[in-house]
Amino acid sequence: MTIEIQSLTLAYDENLILSDCNLRLTEGEILVILGPSGCGKTTLLRAIAGFVKPDFGSIQLNGRSLDNLQPEERNIGMLLQRPVLFPHKDVLGNILFAYRKKKDRKMKEVNEIMQDMGIYEMRNQAIETLSGGEAQRVVLARALLTNPELLLLDEPLSSLDLNVRRQLASEIRATLKSKNIAAIHVTHDHEEAEIIGDRIIHWSELHLLESE
Ligand SMILES: Nc1ncnc2c1ncn2[C@@H]1O[C@H](COP(=O)(O)OP(=O)(O)OP(=O)(O)O)[C@@H](O)[C@H]1O
Ligand SMILES: [Mg+2]
């Protein structure tokens, strides 16, 4: 078991967004959750990452409770719809942010991940010169360098052209599989879900899944 979510419930004021959600991922599993706009996908991922506190329920990651941990203590990586990068640093400068301390930097690892993600040749380029797909590759490389126990993917491909989206979806899958990293990917795109996921569920199934 990688992650186990039990009875997760969250309301914004009177609006119940997450209602008794249950979810389990096996080791290295890639789960895709399909759901329409506004159903609560981002809210679920933010709750898992620790950016918003649920009203009820518990989350365990590899046997340890996340309930009282800050986001930076959870060892979870997250990719958003729009890549978040430092505009005044180049590609390499952004990737090095994976390391909190300079002395922890392992350049062999950095170079390998840049090769894997096909961005090695761009390492000295300014962020503004990258395409949307290239920018997501940089974000993914940076996230992977932190050795996350779980990766959360919040529609990171939705603003890309169809061909780029397909290509990057299959590369993300291959990369996660080669590193045996579990992931939860949310999207409303069926084709993307088929390419990336080991298992696909619909949003409405979240509160139906047995907690036992
Ligand atoms: N901080 C907040 N305060 C109040 N309501 C919020 C907040 N964040 C989101 N909501 C509401 O919660 C609901 C779910 O939002 P959320 O962003 O999780 O949906 P989503 O499935 O990610 O949508 P999309 O597919 O458009 O990204 C929406 O009705 C949204 O307006
Ligand atoms: Mg969203």
Give me the CATH number covering residue 155: 3.40.50.300
**For position 212, what pLDDT does the model report?**
44
Q: Is residue 10 within 6 Å of ligand 1 at its C-beta?
A: no
Work out the mean pLDDT of the chain and round it to a whole number: 94
Instruction: Specify whether 158 is located in the same domain as 114.
Output: no
Q: Quote the pLDDT of residue 101.
A: 85
Distance 125 CA to ligand 2 centre (A): 30
Q: How many domains does the chain have?
A: 2
12 lines ligand 1 (CB under 6 A): yes
Is the minimum distance from the CB of 51 to ligand 1 under 6 angstroms?
Answer: no
Asked, for residue 82, whether it belongs to a domain, the answer is: no
Which residue stretches of the chain have pLDDT < 70?
208-212
**Is residue 70 located within the same domain as residue 100?**
no
The upper half-sphere exposure of residue 75, i.e. CA atoms within 13 Å in the direction of its Cβ, equals 13
DSSP per residue over 110-135, as a string? HHHHHHHTT-GGGTTSBGGGS-HHHH
> Cα of 43 to ligand 1 centre, how many Å?
6
Do residues 160 and 185 share a domain? yes
Concatenate the DSSP letters of all residues of 62-87 into one string.
Answer: TTEE-TT--GGGS-EEEE-SS----T
Is 56 in the same domain as 108?
Answer: no
Residues 124 and 153 in one domain: no
| 117 shares its domain with 57 | no
State the residue range of the domain holding 94. Answer: 87-132+141-147
Do 163 and 58 lie in one domain? The reply is yes
Render pLDDT for 59-107 as a digit per residue (tens, 0 to 9).
999 999 999 999 999 999 999 999 999 999 999 999 999 988 888 889 9
Distance 38 CA to ligand 1 centre (A): 5
